[in-house]
């Protein structure tokens, strides 16, 4: 079945506008051919023998991916491990920034990753991984004239002590292009409601005091839901929330998000692929109440190659399915430029 047509006004808008992606994971955004080459260059043992098989391995096939957990398994089991060396992470960061500019004119980009998921459990030096990522970013910014920053992801499944180290590394490299911290990972690890939340309150406060932006994945699945978004706002006070679509089911929460100016990082294709929403009709039922309530929103890719998308394609889909009108798209782009952690 053919995709609905993008309105001419929307095409003209996208043709004339530089874009901004604030929510894109390094582990989900490197081209399969690059990952294939990195794996072979580093002697990484793969479970497949041919490139077509590998390309399918690192793609979130809708027939295979039925939830956020199965989506994350591809990152944690394959793509992030392949990127686990200084040379691999440098090439990965450089290639993503260049590809996003060439494909969608993304001139402002924040890339996020967990450096501890690139050091093979301590076998590689964490600072070498971080410096390599910074170097890849700096080279890409020089080559393409874009603005970029790195966000370090804490992991819900990690011990607090490991996440504390990640924040300390973010603080250390704040003046080298590390612009923020995130909390990501399987949402069944509900830190929002657990006994550790007070310690994480202090961790996020410390990051803010160091000049880092803060964002948190929550409200993406039923594990956290609208209650998770409320808990995050009250206890961790992030500048932005990754996904957060469960807020659309709670009018009081939407009023609070709007009043506090907290920005949601929407990722349409990701929500569809992980079954966070059932289809375009439900996505419209989620996004439009957020818009109508005055919640500040950005549109992002989450993982371009894992989802086989681009930022321009995400915006075209929202226009074609009448989720947003051109003015709404323009507003999300302007919000991204206002809400970026890149200074």
Catalytic sites, residue numbers: 220
| Helix, strand, coil share of the chain (percent; to 5) | 55, 15, 30
Cα separation, 249 vs 253, in Å, equals 8
Are 233 and 210 spatial neighbours (Cβ–Cβ below 8 Å)? no
- Please choose, from the candidates 316, 184, 297, 186, the residue with its C-alpha nearest in 3D space to the C-alpha of residue 248: 297
User: 213 - beta bridge partners?
Assistant: 180
Sheet of 178-184, strands arranged across: 19-25, 106-113, 147-155, 178-184, 213-218, 240-243, 263-266, 296-299
Record the tokens describing residue 273, joined without a space.
Answer: 């692929």
Record the tokens describing residue 56, joined without a space.
Answer: 């399918």
DSSP sequence for 162-207: HHHHHHHHHHHTGGGTEEEEEEES-TTS-TTTSTTHHHHHHHHHHH
């Amino acid at each position: 079945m053919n995709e609905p047509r993008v309105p001419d006004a929307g095409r003209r808008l996208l043709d004339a506008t530089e874009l901004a992606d604030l929510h894109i994971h390094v582990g989900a955004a490197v081209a399969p051919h690059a990952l294939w080459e990195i794996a072979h260059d580093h002697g990484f043992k793969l479970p497949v023998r041919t490139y077509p098989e590998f390309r399918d391995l690192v793609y979130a096939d809708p027939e295979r991916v039925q939830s956020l957990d199965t989506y994350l398994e591809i990152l944690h089991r394959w793509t992030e491990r392949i990127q686990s060396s200084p040379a691999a992470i440098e090439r990965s960061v450089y290639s993503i920034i260049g590809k996003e500019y060439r494909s969608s004119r993304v001139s402002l980009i924040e890339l996020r990753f967990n450096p501890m998921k690139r050091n093979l459990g301590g076998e590689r030096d964490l600072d070498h991984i971080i410096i390599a990522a910074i170097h890849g970013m700096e080279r890409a910014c020089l080559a393409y004239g874009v603005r970029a920053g790195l966000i370090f992801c804490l992991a819900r499944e990690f011990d607090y002590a490991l996440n504390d180290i990640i924040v300390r590394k973010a603080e250390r490299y704040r003046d080298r292009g590390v612009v923020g911290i995130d909390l990501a990972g399987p949402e069944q690890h509900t830190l929002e409601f657990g006994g550790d939340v007070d310690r994480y309150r202090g961790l996020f406060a410390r990051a803010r005091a160091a000049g880092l932006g803060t964002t948190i994945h929550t409200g993406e699945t039923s594990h956290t839901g609208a209650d998770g978004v409320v808990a995050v706002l009250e206890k961790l006070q992030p500048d932005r929330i990754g996904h957060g679509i469960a807020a659309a089911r709670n009018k009081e929460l939407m009023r609070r998000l709007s009043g506090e100016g907290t920005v949601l990082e929407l990722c349409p294709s990701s929500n569809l692929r992980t079954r966070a929403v059932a289809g375009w009709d439900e996505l419209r039922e989620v996004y439009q109440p957020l818009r109508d309530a005055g919640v500040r929103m950005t549109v992002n890719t989450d993982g371009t190659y894992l989802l086989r998308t681009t930022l321009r394609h995400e915006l075209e889909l929202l226009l074609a399915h009448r989720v947003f009108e051109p003015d709404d798209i323009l507003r999300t782009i302007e919000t991204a430029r206002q809400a970026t952690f890149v200074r």
